[in-house]
Amino acid sequence: MRRHEFQPGRLLAGLVLTAAGVLYLLDAAGETDVPWFLVVPFGVGGLVLSALVGMVTYAVRRDQRDRIIESKDQ
């Protein structure tokens, strides 16, 4: 299997959505009472946070690529 870049934004999105799913499963099993108006903002906030992390990761990697290209040109 080919190696791929680590993408922390996607990891964070997966963890947040998994946590929201677990909360819904616990609610369905009767273990806890989680209102929908708490889980929805949790999921949306997690997706927004993962988008920000993804943009920062992209910017850092782009800056590193540009520095490598500049050093090769000199």
> Is residue 4 one of the residues assigned to a domain?
no
Q: What is the 3-state secondary structure (H, E, C) of the chain?
A: CCCCCCCHHHHHHHHHHHHHHHHHHHHHHCCCCCCHHHHHHHHHHHHHHHHHHHHHHHHHHHHHHHHHHHHHHC
> Is residue 40 one of the residues assigned to a domain?
yes
> Is residue 1 one of the residues assigned to a domain?
no
Q: Which domain holds residue 32?
A: 9-73
> Is residue 48 one of the residues assigned to a domain?
yes
pLDDT recorded at residue 74 = 67
Q: How many domains does the chain have?
A: 1
pTM: 0.79
CA distances from 16 to 11, 27, 42, 54, 62 (A): 9, 17, 8, 14, 26
The segments of the chain whose pLDDT lies below 70 read 74
> Is residue 29 one of the residues assigned to a domain?
yes
> Is residue 2 one of the residues assigned to a domain?
no
pLDDT recorded at residue 9 = 94
> Is residue 25 one of the residues assigned to a domain?
yes
